[in-house]
Chains A and B, each alone.
Chain A
Amino acid sequence: MISGLPPALLFLAGAALVPLLPQRFKQAFMLALPLFALYLLYNTPLGTYWSFSFLDYQIVLMKLDRLSRVFAYIFLIISVIGFLFALKVEDDLQHSAALIYAGGALGVTLCGDWFSLYVYWEFMAVASTFLILARRTPAARAAALRYILVHLFGGLLLFAGIMLLLAGGGPIAIGALKLEGAAAWLIFLGIALNAAIPPLHPWLKDAYPEATPTGAVFLSAFTTKSAVYLMCRTFAGAEVLIWVGAIMTIFPIFYAVLENDIRRVLSYSLMNQVGYMMCGIGIGTTLAINGTVSHAFCHILYKALLFMAAGSVLTMTGRSRCTDLGGLYKTMPLTAVFCMVGSASISAFPLFSGFVSKSMIVSAAGLQHLTTIWFMLQFASVGVIDHAGIKVPYFTFFGHDSGIRASDPPWNMTWAMGIAAFFCLGIGIFPQPLYNILPFPVDYAPYTGAHVVGQLQLLLFGALAFVLLIYSGYYPAEIRAINLDFDWFYRKGGRAFYRLVDWGLGGINAASDRWLVNGATGAVNRFARQAPAIMSKLVLVPVWWLFKVRGWPLEQRKRALERGFARGALPVGVGALAAAVMLIVLYLLA
């Protein structure tokens, strides 16, 4: 039945086709594919499709419910916009990688079992790396290597958690988990890493600014938001997330104030926004979950819009640092306007999308009388108006005149921004269609007098403070510098950490180095055969030890694990590896 066809499979097949198509046809194909998938999804009734038994487990490739459907919608919408934005890029590597990456995110969202989820999870990690690598600069290569190592580690945590869950008789079907015991915590940490929860966050601000101008648009949408989806699915109501989320809204805004590279400012801002979502998931009431899901939906649109604006500037001027930019509104007026629509949306101005979604999360915190959390979230809202609302457009398009006279980008990039801006405004003015597809029935009215006036006061008196500070000269000047973050531990202070990784995860380190740098297929094969079992044992044995499994039972478990891998893991890894091999070939040929 075609209406239940998993969009992930469609995208993966499309990725294999892209390098074979002639250029003109290719462009039409890349737009038609996500549109077709969107049409199919729209016509698919809620339910389970493409389900079969495999080694005593029930594999479900397509499980459409109200939660997964809204995420699938937005992933497909942003795919259309993203591919329109990237339409004129003549690099098959980027197109294929983006298709596999989007397919992975759709797979994670729509599959119903842990095995499939893990496969799609790794698809995402591998494919997204190539969107960074494809910039083909030494900085991008180094960032991509750090990125994939961190994500292999995250995938490993998730995989170990899934294995433990199943070994303990847990269900293969993805569902709500209690945050207790090693299995749940490992899965939690695996998701948390992809959601960029501090201190597992530095990969994001490290890698996204190094990605290609168009690749960053896809990156901003999929990895963190599929983690938000999965967190919603598994750990809704886990109280630790309330505090983790609130801290996550605040900690990045200080960095965003100081950071010089616009795309890095946007990366910190992304974490801040995901913080709201984590907080909402932690609160876990129907209002909070609705708020989280709608905020993820709106966020994907305005964050992609902001990354497209920054990408347009980077494409047309070759620069992305605040210190190099300024005064671009003179010759890039459309980009400036679209950027400001994105800024107003992320700042949650009335009539823009952030206003109708973020306020649900803040209200949910208020309804639960979480006083400190409420003050933290409101403080962070003021932080957003500073860095994303004012700083990004001001220092890029206004401020001092850099003397750069670049024009607006080609029509496809302008239109992609225009469509995203249209959605941002449309949702802000008419939120009801979005409210209708949320997981729970919505009983919430964003446009009350008190809410509109309160929010405008909060934002605009912040803006007044900006005006006073910039005229007094107290506002921190943009300077050419970097700011230390938690990645210091593995980039600098971590010579010891490198040695530890080298010693502890020797197999994965050496294999992925050869795999990424030289693309040696022999290493890939060895890696595929042995690494998962070795890596899982490395994580699981200490965990078992901790839980007082020793002696003979420990040996038994180790052997069961090895048997499991000999039987089951190869099919699990093969798909992602095939994708990796294909992308490596494209990378080397281009």
Chain B
Amino acid sequence: MRELKIFDKAVNVKRLLICLYVFLAGLLVADFFISKHGHFSWENAPEFYAVYGFLCYLALIVLAKALRRIIKRREDYYD
């Protein structure tokens, strides 16, 4: 069976991440060149979605980890 190994090399993973960072930087720049017509005033603030997306993600993970302490059970819990 033929095997792909592209991500076995750390350098390829690094390249992928660099692509992501460059694209993100491009999005931050593009934000200043588009005409905004949001339903809410804050949608027109610079880089609103970037900040909100990043913060939401962090909040989701922090809260989920807290939730895990309460709801985690062994796999045979119901057996």
Contact = CB atoms under 8 A, between A and B. Distances in A.
**Interface of chain B, main secondary structure:** helix
A26 B40 CA distance: 56
B19 to A, nearest CB: 11
B37 A456 contact: no
B68 A258 contact: yes
Given A330-B4, A454-B43, A482 B77 contact: yes
A476 B3 contact: no
B55 to A, nearest CB: 8
Given A378-B56, A383-B60, A481-B75, A461 B50 contact: yes
Interface string A112-126: 000000000000000
B68 A465 contact: no
A484 B74 CA distance: 10
- Greatest chain B CB density within 10 A among A329, A363, A405, A480 is at A329
Interface residues of A, number: 54
Interface in B7-45: 7, 17, 20, 23-24, 27-28, 30-31, 33-40, 43
Contacts of B64: 254, 257-258, 476
Interface in A244-261: 253-254, 257-258
A466 B27 CA distance: 18
B31 A258 contact: no
Binding site secondary structure of chain A:
helix
Contacts of B30: 449, 453
Contact of A449 (B23, B34, B56): B34
Given A257-B64, A469-B61, A482-B75, A331 B53 contact: no
A53 interface: no
A403 B78 CA distance: 31
Nearest to A475: B61
A448 interface: yes
B22 to A, nearest CB: 11
Nearest to B36: A450
Contact of B34 (A405, A453, A475): A453
B27 to A, nearest CB: 5
Contact of A257 (B28, B54, B60, B78): B60
Contacts of A94: none
Given A465-B54, A481-B72, A331 B77 contact: no
B38 A450 contact: yes
A453 B27 contact: yes
A491 B73 CA distance: 14
A229 interface: no
Question: Which of A462, A463, A485 lies at the interface centre, i.e. has the most chain B CB atoms within 10 A of its CB?
Answer: A462
Nearest to A329: B4
A333 interface: yes
Contacts, number: 147
Interface stretch (A365-373, A552-560, A561-569): A365-373
A463 B20 CA distance: 9
Contacts of A253: 60
A455 to B, nearest CB: 7
B1 A461 contact: no
Contacts of A469: 57-58, 61
Interface of A: 253-254, 257-258, 329-331, 333, 363, 366-367, 369, 371, 374, 378-379, 382-383, 385-386, 398, 405, 407, 448-450, 453-467, 469, 474-476, 479-485, 491-492
Given A379-B59, A382-B57, A457-B28, 4 more contacts: A378-B56, A450-B37, A453-B27, A465-B61
24 contacts: A254-B64, A258-B67, A330-B4, A330-B5, A366-B38, A378-B52, A382-B56, A386-B61, A405-B3, A449-B33, A449-B35, A453-B27, A457-B53, A458-B50, A458-B53, A460-B23, A462-B57, A465-B61, A466-B57, A467-B17, A481-B74, A481-B75, A482-B73, A483-B71
Interface of B: 1-5, 7, 17, 20, 23-24, 27-28, 30-31, 33-40, 43, 47-54, 56-61, 63-65, 67-68, 70-75, 77-78
